[in-house]
Amino acid sequence: MNGEATQPAGLDPGDWQEIECRLAEFAAEEVRELQRSLSGPVWREPPPELIRALAEEPVPRDGEDLDAVIERYREQIRPWRNGNTHPRFFGWVQGGGNLASVFADLAISLLNPNVGGREHGAVHVEREVIRWCCELFGFPAAASGILTTGTSAATHLAIQLAAFRHLGLNYKKRGFFEAGPPLRCYCSSEGHSSIIKAIEACGIGSDHLVVVPVDDRHRIRIDRLRQVMEQDRAQGLRPFLVIANAGTVNTGAFDDLHAIRRVCDEMSCWMHVDGAFGAWLRIADAPWKELTEGIETADSLAFDFHKLISVTYECGGLLVRDGDFHQRVYSIRPDYLAPHGEALAGGEPWFCDFGLELSRSFRALKVWFSFRHYGIEGLGRSVTHACELARYLAARIEISEYLELCQPPISSIVTFGLAGIEDLEAHNWRIEQLSAALQRSGKAVFSLTRQGDRRVLRASMTNHRSREQDIDAAVAALEELATR
């Protein structure tokens, strides 16, 4: 396929049929490669020469044949997978990518709609997906929502909404710096770093993010929450937002959402829930489903489709109880976008009025394909399986002479240290070495975190491909390294 011969004027090919065949071949090759990679190493380190070459290659001034570009991709990019598609990847909180989303990804690229607004099919699909999520998470009909790149982006929006709810919409113009005594936000010591980032990016300042201690089940202590909020009020500061956890990144813990709702009502505060992965326990079996009780009472909920239900990246969402308010915060329509409700310019309300982006991708189609293909029952079974695997791993660690479970898993996350090493520094050094050595071995991937002063390994059961035998293999590989 020669660029010069087939692209006389624009960027499209001269021969569409050839593209059709090449795309089908390429898709088939990618599926084969994915399947092949599942029995290969989880991760391989990209060679330094390659990293150097990629860092130094000049801007390609003249185009090259598509075959040559594909060949570069085959050699330089594809072999160095992140590993998250592999069943023995338990690092961080990364989805493996379901195959229904892959069909959607292709369709999204070829349809290439801008879902900022207007009257076309994609807008209605995103509305439908949001309506389904409202139903699943128990949000009322008047709620609104928007799909985002992920929970970090959704949390950022939620914090802005909460601040404008507290201060009034005239502060959209005046800015937070004129808003008088500091606004105060509260979350537990288990809150995710994306909350700090968003609080800082919103100009509220992380000095005003009050970190509340947790109980022995890693839940925010409600008595301490109430106490610090009252103290702040007494000092003339302004509590405006509590961010509750539905699934903490370190321990998979769930706050008592009903209790937080009561505190928010007493203090006239917005309640936001970070449900990045944990919100999906809502569709799992008992006892995990019950952990999400009270999520339906939140003023806003951030959650990811690209984690526990394996929609391909990037795909998160925000639901907002008061949809009308949500729209009023973000609605700005200059002349060239002004609503006039007709033809392609119709389709109100536009999604650009519910977030920061004007141009938006059609990520809703990935959710739509996944919901329709697997059904909520199928996705729910996958979430239940993740939680069951966490229990399985915990049980496996408990009988290990080299590993030590930190606590019984609450949802889909397990943390563990090394048994029999009393010296903290030695333990921490050794576990960091072990984690890297296991990753380099290609046999499995766990990641690290900290519990108190202790570095510990952390396993997140976010990959829908993982099975019990993958856990057995991963633990065996770790134990083997630990004996060396």
Ligand X SMILES: Cc1ncc(COP(=O)(O)O)c(C=O)c1O
**Interface with ligand X by CB under 6 A: which residues?**
93, 150-152, 192, 194, 247-249, 274, 276-277, 304, 316
- Quote the crossing angle between the two packed helices 151-167 and 323-330, to the nearest 10°: 90
- Positive or negative CA dihedral for 417, 420, 425, 430? negative
Report in angstroms how near the CB of residue 193 gets to ligand X at its nearest: 8
Instruction: Kindly state the tokens that stand for 393.
Output: 């791993």
| Closer residue to ligand X in complex, CB, 251/439 | 251
Q: Which DSSP category does 337 fall into?
A: G
Instruction: Kindly state the tokens that stand for 207.
Output: 């000095």
- Count of positions (residues) in the chain: 484
Report in angstroms how near the CB of residue 110 gets to ligand X at its nearest: 26
Scan for tokens 């909404």, then name that residue: 161
Report in angstroms how near the CB of residue 343 gets to ligand X at its nearest: 36
| Closer residue to ligand X in complex, CB, 192/396 | 192
Q: Note the Cα 74 to chain centre separation in Å.
A: 28
- Positive or negative CA dihedral for 285, 155, 135, 370? negative
Q: Note the Cα 411 to chain centre separation in Å.
A: 16
| Closer residue to ligand X in complex, CB, 206/268 | 206
| Closer residue to ligand X in complex, CB, 147/482 | 147
| Closer residue to ligand X in complex, CB, 256/274 | 274
| Closer residue to ligand X in complex, CB, 130/267 | 130
| Closer residue to ligand X in complex, CB, 17/193 | 193
Report in angstroms how near the CB of residue 316 gets to ligand X at its nearest: 5
For the stretch 391-410, what's the b/e string if a residue is b when 16 or more beta carbons lie within 10 angstroms of its beta carbon?
ebbbebbeebebbbbbbebb
Rounded Cα distance, 370 and 356, in Å: 26
| Closer residue to ligand X in complex, CB, 144/148 | 148
CB 131 within 8 A of CB 323: no
Report in angstroms how near the CB of residue 159 gets to ligand X at its nearest: 13
Report in angstroms how near the CB of residue 234 gets to ligand X at its nearest: 31
Scan for tokens 């959402």, then name that residue: 257
- Positive or negative CA dihedral for 354, 360, 362, 364? negative
Report in angstroms how near the CB of residue 481 gets to ligand X at its nearest: 26
| Closer residue to ligand X in complex, CB, 153/183 | 153
Residues with Cβ within 8 Å of residue 111, at least 6 apart in sequence: 122, 362, 365
| Closer residue to ligand X in complex, CB, 151/415 | 151
Helices vs strands, H then E, count in the chain: 15, 11
Kind of pairing between the strands at 447-451 and 454-460: antiparallel
Element (H, E) at 470: helix 468-483
Rounded Cα distance, 367 and 101, in Å: 7
Report in angstroms how near the CB of residue 105 gets to ligand X at its nearest: 17
Rounded Cα distance, 355 and 149, in Å: 11
CB 375 within 8 A of CB 369: no
| Closer residue to ligand X in complex, CB, 93/329 | 93
Report in angstroms how near the CB of residue 254 gets to ligand X at its nearest: 11
Report in angstroms how near the CB of residue 317 gets to ligand X at its nearest: 10
Q: Maximum Cα–Cα distance for the chain, whole Å?
A: 75
Report in angstroms how near the CB of residue 91 gets to ligand X at its nearest: 11
Using CB atoms, what's the residue nearest to ligand X? 150
Amino acid at 228: V
Count of CB atoms within 10 A of residue 269's CB? 23
